[in-house]
Amino acid sequence: MSGSVGVALLGAGNIGSGVIAALVRSAGRYAARVGRPLEVRHVLVRDMLRPRPGVASGLITGDLGVILEDAETRIVIELMGGEEPARAYIERCLRAGRHVVTANKEVMAKAGGELLQIAHEHGVRLLYEASVGGGIPIIAPLSRDLLANEVTAVTAIINGTTNYMLTAMAQQGADYEDVLAEAQALGYAEPDPTADVEGIDASFKLAVLCGLAFNVAVAPEQIARQGISGIAAVDIAYAEQLGYVIKLLARARLVDGEVEATVQPTLVPVEEPLAKVDGVLNAVQIEGDLVGRVVFEGPGAGPGPTASSVLADVLDAAQDVVAGRAPLAFVPRRTVRVRPPEEHRSRYYLRITVQDRPGVLARIAQALGDAQISIASFIQYEVEGAEGTAELVFTTHHADGGALRGAIGVIEAMDVVQEIGNVLPMAGEEAAR
């Protein structure tokens, strides 16, 4: 089609098919927005024999070279998923002078800084709104609307599977295994849920957000990570009694020029906006010196929301093609120290199962006190069906992670302690530095 902006897709799964369908269905509206029609010229797939409803057979290819040899293809949409060959394909497209739109959180978390540098060197753009938060616009606001702010903290619920599961546990009083089975039956959790429930997916997304919010390079493996598989129904119930809900929070903040970054189940005060984000919804909270606190909330996954973000980036890139605009200035990401968990400060929730004997509480309080950890509250519960056993629930004032770890080691070694049931951070007012 003469005068069109050529588009190619790498991958034609659920999201890719949705993107193609939207490009056809909304062709007139998109052409009006861009100033020229958008034309899908190629669709790269791994299995060329698999039927692709809605995709003309002449568009299908298994060779990236076919796409790169077509001078009319100006924008490439990567929707393959996984680290390789997606990362290599993105790099080849950028070096060939093609704008690239991707939803790949793993690639952007591990190689985003390098790929953005390559895009800058070749005068093209790498756009990745769909890599974090699905349909929630967060990359563009951080790149443009909040650019005048010094962002000091990012706090997010960015995994719909775990948020659904924790919400279900709170509403049903159910245990982890039961809600996992329910989430899998509903299609919210994969047959192998490890990436979601162990916080791996959220750590990729938080690494991407650190690059945008602070302009620093944070690798996923530098993020202190704890999944939700250790959360029990009693933790949910005790948190509620204390005035909290448990959420898998992805948190990063700048402290004295260094970064603290964590993905952990966290007790969130019920009055906080993030405590009210339930089900499969996601939310990202940004704190800036000018704007204060802003929250972006919406559907975090699924073909529709993801396609929405992908297509917004495609239209943005297409407008640049039509207008002949050069990409914005690129600022390389800084490398700063990422603080290890023992240097983090937080309030903590502790659940400890002990023999119900005189003096046990005093011994545990002594161990915490020796580590300079102050107890904020304490509740004792009898354990049903286990005579002579009690469950102790403590909350602490702000303490160093290293000090807490040392105290937990001492407590765990006590002959009267049967189990350290859980140790979780608590969100709230940060400690003074």
Are 208 and 128 spatial neighbours (Cβ–Cβ below 8 Å)?
yes
276 is catalytic: no
Residue 429 — very low, low, confident or very high, per pLDDT cuts 50/70/90? Answer: low
For residue 100, give both structure tokens: 């690239």
Most distant CA pair in the chain, distance: 86
- Return d(Cα 268, Cα 166) in angstroms, integer: 12
pLDDT of residue 385: 67
**For the chain, percent of residues with pLDDT exceeding 70:** 98
Q: What is the DSSP letter of 338?
A: B
Contact (Cβ atoms closer than 8 angstroms) between residue 90 and residue 126: yes
Cβ neighbours around 123 below 10 Å, total: 11
Amino acid at position 290, single letter? L
pLDDT at 133: 78
Q: Does the pLDDT value for residue 331 go beyond 90?
A: no
Alpha carbon distance 312, 198 (integer Å): 31
Return phi, psi of residue 132, to 5°.
-135, 125
Domains within the chain, CATH numbers bracketed: 5-134+303-323 (3.40.50.720), 146-299 (3.30.360.10), 345-426 (3.30.70.260)
Q: Would you state the pLDDT for residue 19?
A: 93
What 3-state class would DSSP assign to 275?
helix
- Average pLDDT of the residues in 110-139: 91
The predicted pLDDT at position 1 comes to 40
DSSP string covering 402-432, please? HHHHHHHHHHHTSTTEEEEEEEEEE-SSPPP
d(CA 243, CA 237): 10
Which residue has better confidence, 402 or 144?
A: 402
DSSP 13-30: SHHHHHHHHHHHHTHHHH
And the tokens for 313? 């980036």
Across 52-56, 62-66, 381-385, least confident range: 381-385
Tell me how crowded residue 427 is: count the other CB atoms within 10 A of its CB.
Answer: 19
Is the pLDDT assigned to residue 107 strictly greater than 90? yes
Answer yes or no: is pLDDT of 137 > 80: yes
Residue-wise pLDDT for 278-326, tens only, equals 998 999 999 999 999 999 998 876 778 888 999 999 999 999 999 988 8
Residues 6+ apart with CB under 8 A from 429: none
- pLDDT at position 317: 96
Helix (H, G, I), strand (E, B) or coil at 158: coil
Which backbone phi and psi does 72 adopt, to 5 degrees? -80, -15
Indicate the average pLDDT of the chain: 93
Q: Is the dihedral of CA 192, 193, 199, 200 positive or negative?
A: positive
Q: Which residues does residue 42 pair with via DSSP β-bridges, in sequence order?
A: 8
363 to each of 326, 372, 394, 414, how far by Cα in Å? Answer: 67, 14, 14, 9
Q: Looking at residues 226-252, what average pLDDT do you find?
A: 97
State yes or no: pLDDT of 272 exceeds 90.
yes
pLDDT tens readout for residues 369-414: 999 999 999 999 888 767 789 999 999 999 999 999 999 999 999 9
Residue 173 — left, alpha, or beta (φ > 0 → left; ψ -120 to 50 → alpha)?
left
Q: Which of 105, 110, 205, 247 is catalytic?
A: 205
